[in-house]
């Protein structure tokens, strides 16, 4: 049986950025397949009564989060440039992944998008930024975006976000291993250990 970890993330999420850049080597070392599952935190937060990131709604939490990110990025050796606008709108790249779930370029594209947003302060909500990222990877941006933004493409992300909701996901990143949920970049190692039957 192939061991698998479902990695639920939103491109606007700071801690998802850390996990997106860390997960592949850690999972490979354990022979675990990563299932990349973008979704939108917006509707999930809206159901909790929030119309913005909790890091904006609760300023003390926000101040702490950015300092925590600085420390963690230094520790992991991951670059960080605090975005001039937060949160960005990650719907466009999320749709692209949902519409091409099994494409071999998905993991690289996820890392490219996160790095654009959190290492280079690019606006990942802008079409031209996303086109640039896809083209830099040698992909046909126009075709991929057309598929992603077709009614069927849009519906895929909508359904994936509903699935997150039905799984009781309330934040990102969230990892699911065999029905067991782990929330937060802090829990990545614990989630991967769970794939090996280390259940505590």
Of 45 and 114, CB closest to a copy of itself: 45
CB of 187: closest distance to a copy of itself in angstroms?
A: 8
CA distances from 71 to 14, 59, 75, 78 (A): 13, 19, 6, 10
Of 58 and 86, CB closest to a copy of itself: 58
Contact between 36 and 173 (Cβ < 8 Å): no
Of 107 and 171, CB closest to a copy of itself: 171
Residue with tokens 């992603």: 148
CB of 102: closest distance to a copy of itself in angstroms?
A: 29
Of 29 and 75, CB closest to a copy of itself: 75
The alpha carbon of 177 is separated from its chain's Cα centroid by a whole number of angstroms, namely 17
Of 73 and 134, CB closest to a copy of itself: 73
Distance CA 112, CA 54 (A): 25
Q: Which two tokens stand for residue 2?
A: 């192939």
CB of 105: closest distance to a copy of itself in angstroms?
A: 32
CB of 36: closest distance to a copy of itself in angstroms?
A: 21
Of 60 and 84, CB closest to a copy of itself: 60
DSSP H stretches of helix in the chain: 14-29, 41-47, 54-57, 59-76, 91-99, 106-118, 127-136, 141-148, 151-166, 188-194
CB of 3: closest distance to a copy of itself in angstroms?
A: 18
Strands across the sheet with 180-183, in order? 32-38, 3-9, 174-177, 180-183
CB of 5: closest distance to a copy of itself in angstroms?
A: 16
Q: Which residues lie near a copy of itself (CB under 8 A)?
A: 48, 58, 60-61, 63-64, 67-68, 71, 74-75, 168-171, 181-184, 186, 190, 199-200
């Amino acid at each position: 049986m192939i061991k698998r970890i479902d990695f639920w993330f939103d491109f606007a999420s700071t801690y998802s950025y850390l996990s997106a850049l860390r997960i592949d080597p850690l999972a490979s070392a354990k022979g675990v397949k990563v299932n990349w599952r973008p979704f939108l935190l917006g509707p999930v937060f809206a159901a909790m009564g929030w119309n913005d990131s909790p890091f904006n709604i609760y300023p003390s939490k926000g101040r702490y989060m950015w300092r925590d990110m600085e420390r963690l990025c230094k520790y992991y050796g991951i670059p960080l440039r605090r975005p001039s606008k937060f949160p960005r709108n990650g719907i466009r790249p999320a749709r692209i992944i949902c519409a091409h779930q099994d494409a071999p370029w998905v993991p690289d594209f996820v890392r490219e998008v996160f790095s654009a947003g959190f290492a280079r302060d690019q606006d990942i909500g802008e079409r031209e930024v996303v086109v640039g990222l896809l083209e830099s990877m040698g992909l046909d941006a126009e075709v991929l975006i057309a598929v992603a933004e077709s009614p069927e493409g849009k519906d895929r992300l909508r359904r994936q976000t509903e699935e997150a909701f039905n799984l009781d996901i309330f934040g990102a990143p969230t990892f699911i291993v065999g029905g067991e949920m782990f929330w937060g970049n802090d829990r990545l190692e614990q989630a991967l250990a769970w794939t090996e039957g280390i259940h505590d």
